[in-house]
Amino acid sequence: MLNRYARGFFTRLFTPLARLLLRWGVTPDAVTIAGTVGVAGAALVFYPIGQLFWGTVVITLFVFSDVVDGIMARMKGSGGPWGSFLDSTLDRIADGALFAAVAIWFFTGGHNPAIAIAALACLVLGMIVSYARAKAESLGFTANVGVAERAERLVSVLVVTGLTGLGLPQGFLLAVLVVLALASLVTVYQRVRAVRRQSLEAPSPS
């Protein structure tokens, strides 16, 4: 949902930057890699020491690279299977670092194991959500359904984690992570059901 409504706005916002980077000879792949390193690095540096707000600010800046590299690829006409593969693979690294970093802080200095466990649940279930779609597509099915797309998960956890760093009661972060975990679980079910239905409808090999 966020992808549909926000794509046009952010495309217009970042098109001048994308054009400038291309003029400087920067490739879309370089932006993708730099963005992933930035997100993972900021999460693993700031969150484990309790800097939830400033960590979120830095992470958010690098998250926008995911928009910029797509604009650059379309401008350059270099989009395709390789770009999609690289982007999806590095997204898993960024997401894993983000949720792992939240868990590290709340297992240690944050003293809230419930939040840490919920963050780990989001990490694992988020990976399964992505894997289910990738595996389905590798078998010739489609599984782009579900209530917990990556954009929704990312925006939710970043906003509430940042606000927690400013004094928002930790219960709000716990609630958001639990909802995200449950939504991811529902999404896994929806994708399995979609593939199962397609497999039953597919003609049997003669």
Specify whether the CB–CB gap between 42 and 59 falls below 8 A.
Answer: yes
Structure tokens at 133: 């779609």
Span between the terminal Cα atoms of the chain, in Å: 40
- State the pTM of this model: 0.90
Angle between helices 81-107 and 113-138 (to 10 degrees): 160
What are the helix (H) ranges across 108-169?
A: 113-138, 150-165
Q: Give the pLDDT of residue 29.
A: 93
Print pLDDT tens along the chain (206 aa). 445 556 677 788 889 999 999 999 999 999 999 999 999 999 999 999 999 999 999 999 999 898 899 899 888 877 778 888 999 899 999 999 999 999 999 999 999 999 999 999 999 999 999 999 999 999 999 998 888 778 778 889 999 999 999 999 999 999 999 999 999 999 999 999 999 999 998 776 55
State the Cα–Cα distance between residues 65 and 49, nearest whole angstrom.
25
Element (DSSP H or E) covering residue 194: helix 170-201
Q: Give the pLDDT of residue 204.
A: 64
Specify whether the CB–CB gap between 130 and 150 falls below 8 A.
Answer: yes
Smallest CA-to-CA distance from 90 within 132, 48, 41 is with: 41
Specify whether the CB–CB gap between 142 and 198 falls below 8 A.
Answer: yes
Q: Give the pLDDT of residue 84.
A: 85
Torsion on CA atoms 122, 125, 126, 130, rounded to nearest 10: 180
Catalytic residues: 91
